[in-house]
Amino acid sequence: MKITKAKLLNPIWKIWYSYISGLDKKGEVTFLNYGYAYDKDIELEKEDEINRYSAQLYHHVVGSVVLKGLDVLEVGCGRGGTSYIIRYFEPKSLKGLDLCAKSIEFCEKNYSIKGLSFVQGNALNLPFSNDSFDAVANVESSHRYPDMKRFLDEVCRVLKSGGYFLFADLRDAKSTKILKEYVNKSKLKIVKEEDITPCVIKALDLDHKRRMDLINRLAPKFLHPLTKEFAGTKETGLYKSFVSGDKKYLHYVLQKD
């Protein structure tokens, strides 16, 4: 069996996400994405203002379709996205799934909202029946999955006929090509496809000071280089790869026939 780089890194990143959750004793880090900047900021509730750019990425991706009254799943829910989705888009039910046990513990402790529930699980083996959801969301999580084709198959399986897959994530040139091949071969048709990299770069620029403050306060100094890379701050290779075009941030809306 061929062991890919992604498969080797997957356990490492699982440990890293758990460690990040452990650093944040006061629950300040409720979003773990690079953000999105509109030309004109959207209106947010006061409690969401501190996470404006990360929240706006959710708004742009999940707001692509009307979710009110629907059954929705977020795969890779992390620590805050589900709360935003259910409060702003009013689905009938919303399940958040994440591989990281500490993220699920955080969500269960901090979000008690009618219709919202959480489960620990693997994106490549979703613990749900066929045709369970009207929409599946996946925001900046899949680049760590060892088998993207299998994930798309799982999304298609749990979606109802006519259901939507709301997806956004980063890819390098080779991975972008592979992703597009998998999408085209899947049972999901493309409703919308866009490169949102410029809006992500702008968000990282505008959010740089806040991210640096969190790193300086929460992370041990010896971990600052790795934590900065994780956060996408301006001096990092990740940030520079967005600016140079070596990496792109893609947004898809896909629909099951």
Would you kindly state where each structural domain of the chain is located, as residue ranges?
Answer: 5-256
pLDDT of amino acid 226: 87
pLDDT of amino acid 230: 87
DSSP secondary structure letter of residue 25? T
Q: What are the percentages of helix, strand and coil residues in the chain, rounded to 5?
A: 50, 20, 30
Tokens of 214: 């969190």
CA 79 to CA 111: how far, in whole Å?
10
The pLDDT averaged over each successive group of 10 residues in the chain (257 residues) is 41 55 64 93 94 96 97 93 95 96 90 96 97 98 94 98 98 96 96 98 97 90 89 96 98 97
Angle at 19 between CA 14 and CA 165, to 5 degrees: 45
In angstroms, how far is the first alpha carbon of the chain from the final one?
34
pLDDT of amino acid 21: 61
Tokens of 217: 């306060």
Is residue 50 a contact partner of residue 213, using CB atoms and an 8 Å limit?
no
DSSP secondary structure letter of residue 66? -
pLDDT of amino acid 2: 38
pLDDT of amino acid 3: 36
Distances (CA, A) of 61 to 100, 210, 235, 238: 22, 23, 27, 21
pLDDT of amino acid 124: 97
CA 51 to CA 181: how far, in whole Å?
34
Domain 5-256 annotated CATH 3.30.70.260: no
Contacts 24+ apart (CB under 8 A), 101-105: 101/18, 102/17, 102/18, 102/21, 102/22, 103/17, 103/21, 103/77, 103/78, 103/79
Number of Cβ within a 10 Å radius of residue 8: 10
Kind of pairing, strands 188-195 and 247-256?
antiparallel
pLDDT of amino acid 4: 44
Distances (CA, A) of 210 to 52, 152, 238: 11, 34, 18
